[in-house]
Amino acid sequence: MASYKLFFDHDVEKDLAKNPKVEVRKVMLKVMRLHENPHPPQSLKLESSDKTFRLRVGDYRTIYQIDEGPKTITVYRVRHRKDAYRSR
């Protein structure tokens, strides 16, 4: 499988800063592996878009989009599950 390029939206840094470092480390280990396999077993396609997925890591959700053309993944949110699907 071809490797994907991983990009982060500017809000992700803010999301990560609000969470405990131990949890952030767990989430980021999984997120950094997305470039190897953008469809891990913990991911699920969201109904809102054909390209949008969520990755579950404990109580945290990562919302990301896959663009198969240029082989890119853009991470938009990393939040606790109670806040993951809310807009700011």
Decide: 52 and 46 in contact? Cβ < 8 Å: yes
pLDDT of residue 87: 65
Q: CB within 8 A of 43, min separation 6: which ones? A: 53, 54, 55, 56
- Structural domains of the chain ordered from first start: 5-80 (3.30.2310.20)
Low-confidence residues of the chain, pLDDT below 70? 1, 87-88
- Whole-number pLDDT of residue 32: 94
Query: Which residues have C-beta within 8 Å of that of residue 28, sequence separation ≥ 6?
Result: 16
CA pair distance 8, 73, nearest whole angstrom = 8
Determine the distance from the C-alpha atom of residue 72 to the mean position of all C-alpha atoms in its chain, rounded to a whole number.
Answer: 12
- pLDDT score recorded for residue 49: 84
